[in-house]
Amino acid sequence: MENLITIKNEYNSLDKLHEFLKKDSNYEYSKEYDIWEHRTDANGQMEQCIVVKKSSMHAIKVFFVNDNTVKINYIIPNKMMHAYFGKSVKARRNILEVITGTIKQAVLASSQKKAFEEMEKVFNKISA
């Protein structure tokens, strides 16, 4: 699950978004390196994102795709849980991995969607 949101000019940096979340969010939040996608900047350094966490199983990461547009992705913040329940990025998977992945998605999909929509609402206040 992901969404692109255009935000107001006064919130056009991760630091400003972090300050906004300090004031207006009931969730846990932190500024972290993006270990989920391993995005890098022009200098080859790992990019940062803001992680808004509802629980150890539900969170979103927020990062800028351009000056006033943020991308919000659903993630599992716990690294151990992400390794087991997260989406596999392997190029080739065996039949057992395909079947268990389908079962995991069917069981978790509704709770993940609900959590994503709840956390996404935090950013409606600053959308343009």
pTM over 0.85: no
Q: What is the pLDDT of residue 78?
A: 64
Q: CA 34 to CA 50: how far, in whole Å?
A: 9
| Helices and strands per DSSP (H, E), number in the chain | 3, 5
Mean pLDDT of 80-92: 57
Mean pLDDT of 86-112: 68
Q: Which of 39-53, 66-80, 101-115 has the lowest mean pLDDT?
A: 101-115
Mean pLDDT of 31-35: 87
- Flag whether pLDDT at 79 surpasses 70: no
